[in-house]
Amino acid sequence: MEGGYYDAGDNLKLHFPFAAAFTFLAWSATSFPDAYTGAGEMENFLDGMRWATDFMIKCHTAPDVLVAQIGDVDADHGFWGRPEDMNMGRPAQSIGPGNPGSDLASDYASTLAAASVLFKDSDPSYSATLLQHAKELIQFAFDHPGKYTDSISTSVYGSSNYHDEMGLGVAWIAKATGDPADLARAEQVYDEFAGDLDYNGAWINWDDKTPAFVAMMCELTSNAKYCDQLATWCNGKIDGSTYSPKGEIFIDKWGSLRHAGNVAAICMRAASLGVNSDKYLGFVRQQIHYILGSTGRSFIVGYGVNPPTHCHHRGASCRGPNDCCDPNCPDSNPNVLVGALVGGPMEANDYYQDRRDDYVMNEVALDYNSGFQMALAGLLDATGGATTTGPTEAPTSGPTAGPTSGSTPNHQCPGGSLDGCIALCPEEDADIYQACVHDCIDNCS
C-alpha cells in the first residue's frame, strides 16, 4: 500500500504511533499557525500533512475496517538497507467488527478531524471528506470496543487502554464541527471513563493521550474543571520529575528527548491557553534549548552545533547496497536526515553517544519529532515567530568574547547570527558555556 510514513529507523508502517504523531503535528499548526507561516513553512507542512491523511483515507477501506499495520516485523528488523531495496513480503493487518481496535480507530479520528480544521479554508471539500472519515471511525471505535493490540499479531507498539484515545477523538470532532452535541459527548466521555484514566500522573506518548485529552477540553471549554486539571498535570511533571545536571527532564530512557518534547508540548499548549504561562514557558524554553544545543551539542540531525551524524535509520545510512549499509559502519550517514530528533541520553546524566548501532540513544521516529515540533512552534509563536539560522560546524577553539554567565540580554548579537554567537562562547567551563549559549539564543533569536 503506497503512501504514509515509515515509523522510525526501520521500514515498517505502524499506524498507532503514526496517528499519534500526526495528531500532535496538526494540533501544533491549528494552535500556532503564525509560527509556521512566519517560518515560511506552512505550505510544506500542509503538503506533509496531506500525504499522511491521504494514506489514512486509503487505509479506511470501509466504515468499520481500518488497516492497522504494514510489514513483517521480524523480516524488517533483519534487513538493513534502503526501502527501495526491500524484497520481503509486506503483509497488512486490519481491524474490524470481529477484531476491534478502538484506540487506533480513535487515533485516526483525531488526526483526520484535526486535519479537517487545517484544510477548512484552503480546501473545504477535502476538509469535509476528512471529517466524514473521522466521524465514521469514532463511531466504529464506540460500536466495537477493544484494543488493537489484542486484534493483530506481532504489534510493536502496545496499547494499555483505549478510553483516552476515544476521548481525544471525540474532542477533536467537537473542535472540527463546533457542534454543542459533540462537545457534550466529549464531556460525557471525560466523566464516564474517569476511573480508567489517570488525569494526574499519566505519561504523554503514543500509548497514553490522557493529558492531550485534558488539554483539548481546556481549549474547547475554558472550564476550570479541565484547565485546573491541566495545571495539576504540568505541575506534577515539571516539579516532580528527575532532571539531568544540564537540564533535561528525564521521564524514560527510550527516546528520552521524545518524552521531554511531549511534556513541553502539552505545557506549551497550557501556557498559550493562559495556564501558568510564565512558569511553563520557562520550562519549555529550557527543554527546547537543551534539544537545540544549549549544552554544547545539538540533538537535531543536520542542525546546530555538533549535531548527530550516525542516527539509527536505514535510509539515512545507505546510499547504495555497498555504501555504509551496515548498522556498524563507522562512517557518517551519507544521507543527512535534516530535522530528525534522536532519542538522546538514556540516563539522567546527559551522556549521549552518536552511534548508529545504539538505537536507544540514536534512533529517530515520527513520534520523537512531533511533540518537540509542537513545543518549538509554540515557543516561536510566543516570541513573535523569530527563527534561527541554519546548521553550522561545531566551534573549534572558541575565543572568549561574547556573552558570559549572568550577562544581561541587550538585544545585540555577537557574531552576527545565533550560530556565530555560539561559536564565540568559551568552552573551557561547561556552566559558563551553557549560560553563554542561552544568552545567544535570547539575543539572536
Check whether domain 222-393 has CATH 1.50.10.10, yes or no: yes
The three three-digit cell numbers of residue 122, written as one number: 484552503
Please say whether the beta carbons of 163 and 188 come within 8 A.
Answer: no
Residue 325: the pLDDT is 86
Say which residues have a Cβ less than 8 Å from residue 181's Cβ, sequence separation at least 6.
none
Q: Pick the catalytic residue: 10, 107, 367, 442? A: 10
- Clarify whether 363 is annotated catalytic: yes
Among this protein's residues, is 228 annotated catalytic? no
List the pLDDT tens digit at each of the 445 positions of the chain.
789 999 999 999 999 999 999 999 999 999 999 999 999 999 999 999 999 999 999 999 999 999 999 999 999 989 999 898 888 999 999 999 999 999 999 999 999 999 999 999 999 999 999 999 999 999 999 999 999 999 998 778 999 999 999 999 999 999 999 999 999 999 999 999 998 899 998 999 999 999 999 999 999 999 999 999 999 999 999 999 999 999 999 999 999 999 999 999 999 999 999 999 999 999 999 999 999 999 999 999 999 999 999 999 999 998 876 677 888 889 999 999 999 999 999 999 999 999 999 999 999 999 999 999 999 999 999 987 544 333 222 222 222 222 222 322 333 566 566 656 666 666 545 556 556 666 666 666 5
Q: How would CATH label the architecture of 1-200?
A: Alpha/alpha barrel (1.50)
Cell of 393: 560546524
Q: Do domains 1-200 and 222-393 have the same CATH topology?
A: yes
Residue 399: CB partners within 8 Å, gap ≥ 6? Answer: 424, 426
Q: What is the pLDDT of residue 1?
A: 79
| Active-site annotation holder among 60, 312, 313, 438 | 312
Q: Judge whether 312 counts as a catalytic residue.
A: yes
Helices 102-118 and 15-31 pack at an angle, to 10 degrees, of: 30
Q: Looking at 198, 354, 358, 427, which residue is catalytic? A: 354
Spatial separation of the C-alpha atoms in residues 344 and 124, rounded to whole Å: 40
CA gap 263, 199 in Å, rounded: 14
* CB environment 291-321: b (16+ within 10 A), e (fewer): bbbbbbbbbbbbbbbbbbebbbbbbbbbeee
- Write down the pTM of the prediction: 0.86
Task: Give me the torsion for CA of 40, 378, 278, 417, rounded to 10°.
Answer: -40
Annotated catalytic residue 354: yes
Per domain, the residue ranges of the chain are: 1-200, 222-393, 395-445
